[in-house]
Amino acid sequence: MKSLWSELRPMLAGLAAFSFVINLLFLAPAIFMLQVFDRVLPSNSGETLLVLLGGTLGALFILLALDYVRNRLQNVLGGLVEERLSPRVVETLVVKAARRPQTAQFDGMRDVASLRAMFMANGLVAVFDAPWVVFYVLVIGAFHPLLGIGAAAAAVGMLTLAWLNDRLSRAPLEALQKDSRHASQYLESSLRNAEVLQALGMTQRLLARWRQSQDRLAALQTAAGRSTVAFAAATRFMRQAIQILMLALGAWLVLTGQASPGVMIATTILLGRAVQPIEQLVGAWRVLTDGRAAYRRLAELSREFEIEAPHVTLPTPEGRLSVDAVSYRVLGTEQVLLVNVALNLSAGEAVAVVGPSAAGKSTLARLITGVWRPTAGCVRLDGADVATWPREDLGPAIGYVPQDVELFDGTVADNIARLGEIDSEAVVAAARRANVHDMILTLPQAYETPVGEQGLRLSPGQRQRIALARALYGNPRLVVLDEPNSNLDGAGEIALAQALSSLRSEGVTSVVVTHRPSLIAHVDKILVLEAGRVKRFGPASEVMRAMQRDAQVAMAEQAA
């Protein structure tokens, strides 16, 4: 955020400079009226009128040009905010969602949009114009002290309204923002389970909960809207009343011979210009409040931005994997998922990770890929810590199929190519390595078949096989498969087993989380996890014999 402010500060200074000149030029209409009523009409001089008219029109054309440039500069400010923040926010949200999916919030882009809207709103211009109220009051006071006192009282009254608007509307608006985000997130997350809602008849219950949240939102919106509308109406009323009262005061001074008609008209014009920014502030307060709250959240989020420090690009790993006494505890809780897990694999070796549900198998898979950071210990690939290895360098060397497979909206080829530029030869090669090429050719448009959002146009088995091809795209040296056969049929199981055998022959290190013996036959070692701890680890044949003995003992105990 500091680097962003270093870029924004000169532009904001430019806005202030434009506001300085623009507000000076706004004196031109008042001076024109003053001269016309006090000099042109009494002297009946047409030449003086033409000169004044030409000068005033010239000032107004300059004012038009400067105002246009100022508005364009605001657009540049908003675009710069979005350009600088959006990539970093998306990257950080992806990291947070991957490492802490249960706590990840996805409001960052809405906050960027709110901050961008604040910089592009008229309210920002009003912020720069508001200090000129003092200048206009002093100019009016130069005409007559009573007029200056009246203008000062008017400015104080308008400023008091703006301050009250801030104090009374800040809490309701921020509460409305918070509840609105929660309601939107709740509905989005619920609709991901639309199939369950429909099958189990839960739609009406979801609707009832959604209505409760909407009722709370409606109450907050009514409270916030009532306050905003009331202050906007009060501001408009006060502005009109002030102008009428000041015009009446000017007329009284003219009748008593203490001021000229030109002073009366000029005062009215200057006072209207003086209170205009305050009225704009009140009208744009919702946008400014949203932007201020968004900035606070983005400043908090920016603490998690990855520091882009120069780094030495490491060579492509060979696949030597070392898990050194790794433990993992869920952030913010005492829940420990893994305790002191260790294993070592040479390049090209394959290990099967087995164990009961909630043993920590998927957690270990995420730690091995570097998606999660261990609480203690370290996961190293060719001696380098995978958690600190830049993802753009490490990603091509890793293949990963998560337990819950989701594809990205696009074509089959887009997904296999990891959303990069389509290299037809590499895409087909990855599909062949995963033994899914023939299946893809049976799709309506083969590799150009759209998969739909989250891949929902394909069956779960098809998604899983395409995800395997995505994992094998390029030249990965470490492949981590978490339950890669959970949705596969017999043909898919055979294709997966053949792919694992090919990986071993190619010297690719493989980690397979599985419960099925068909895959265990294609690994060199087996790691047995139980309650987050290593129960057994070693050559596959030895561990299998030990597991069989354990099963026989358990059966004997049950029979007894």
The amino acid present at 361, given as its one-letter code, is: K
Q: From CA 189, how far away is CA 433, in angstroms rounded?
A: 35
pLDDT at 519 over 60: yes
* pLDDT value, residue 187: 61
Q: From CA 322, how far away is CA 478, in angstroms rounded?
A: 12
Question: In the numeric block, which tokens belong to residue 147?
Answer: 């007029």
Question: In the numeric block, which tokens belong to residue 31?
Answer: 């001076």
- Write the CB contacts of 10 (distance below 8 Å, at least 6 apart in sequence): none
Task: Work out the pLDDT band at 193, boundaries 50, 70, 90.
Answer: low
Which string of DSSP letters, residue by residue, matches 398-448?
EEEE-SS--PPSSBHHHHHTTTS---HHHHHHHHHHTT-HHHHHTSTTGGG
Task: Work out the pLDDT band at 38, boundaries 50, 70, 90.
Answer: confident
Which tens digits make up the pLDDT trace of 358-373?
A: 788 888 888 888 888 8
**418 with 462: CB under 8 angstroms?**
no
The closest of 461, 462, 466, 451 to 486, measured between CA atoms, is 461
Q: From CA 374, how far away is CA 485, in angstroms rounded?
A: 27
- Report, as an integer, the average pLDDT of 390-414: 83
Q: From CA 442, how far away is CA 499, in angstroms rounded?
A: 20
For the purposes of burial, counting CB atoms within 10 Å of the CB of 546, is it exposed (0-12), middle (13-18) or buried (19 or more)? middle
Instruction: Give the number of other CB atoms < 10 A from CB of residue 431.
Output: 26
CATH number belonging to the domain at 321-559, selected among 1.20.1730.10, 3.40.50.300, 3.90.120.10, 3.90.1150.10: 3.40.50.300
Sign of the dihedral defined by the CA atoms of residues 112, 186, 400, 433, in that order = negative
Provide the β-strand partners of residue 154: none
Decide: helix, strand or coil at residue 444. coil
Q: What are phi and psi of 547, to 5 degrees?
A: -65, -35
**332 with 411: CB under 8 angstroms?**
no
Query: Among 244-248, 378-382, 457-461, which stretch is predicted with the lowest mean pLDDT?
Result: 457-461
Task: Work out the pLDDT band at 10, boundaries 50, 70, 90.
Answer: confident
Q: From CA 458, how far away is CA 440, in angstroms rounded?
A: 11
- Report, as an integer, the average pLDDT of 132-154: 85
Task: Work out the pLDDT band at 256, boundaries 50, 70, 90.
Answer: confident
pLDDT at 153 over 70: yes
* pLDDT value, residue 9: 81
CATH superfamily of 133-283: ABC transporter type 1, transmembrane domain (1.20.1560.10)
Q: What are phi and psi of 14, to 5 degrees?
A: -65, -40
**97 with 127: CB under 8 angstroms?**
no
**Which sequence spans correspond to the domains of the chain?**
1-121, 133-283, 321-559
Type and span of the H or E element at 398:
strand 398-401
Residue 424: C-alpha distances to residues 70, 213, 365, 407, 420 (Å):
49, 49, 30, 19, 11
Type and span of the H or E element at 209:
helix 203-255
pLDDT at 134 over 60: yes
* pLDDT value, residue 73: 85
Q: From CA 117, how far away is CA 120, in angstroms rounded?
A: 5
Instruction: Give the number of other CB atoms < 10 A from CB of residue 98.
Output: 16
* pLDDT value, residue 224: 63
Query: Among 134-143, 162-171, 288-297, 434-443, which stretch is predicted with the lowest mean pLDDT?
Result: 162-171
Q: Which residue has the higher pLDDT, 10 or 176?
A: 10
Percent of the chain with pLDDT over 70: 81
Mean pLDDT of the chain: 79
**422 with 472: CB under 8 angstroms?**
no
Q: From CA 409, how far away is CA 431, in angstroms rounded?
A: 19
Which tens digits make up the pLDDT trace of 482-509?
A: 888 777 777 777 888 888 888 888 888 8
Which tens digits make up the pLDDT trace of 463-477?
A: 888 888 888 888 888
Which tens digits make up the pLDDT trace of 280-339?
A: 776 676 677 777 777 777 777 776 665 555 566 777 788 888 888 888 887 767 778 888
pLDDT at 215 over 80: no
Type and span of the H or E element at 164:
helix 145-191
- Report, as an integer, the average pLDDT of 153-160: 81
Query: Residue 421 gets which letter from DSSP?
Result: -
Decide: helix, strand or coil at residue 321. strand
Task: Work out the pLDDT band at 171, boundaries 50, 70, 90.
Answer: low
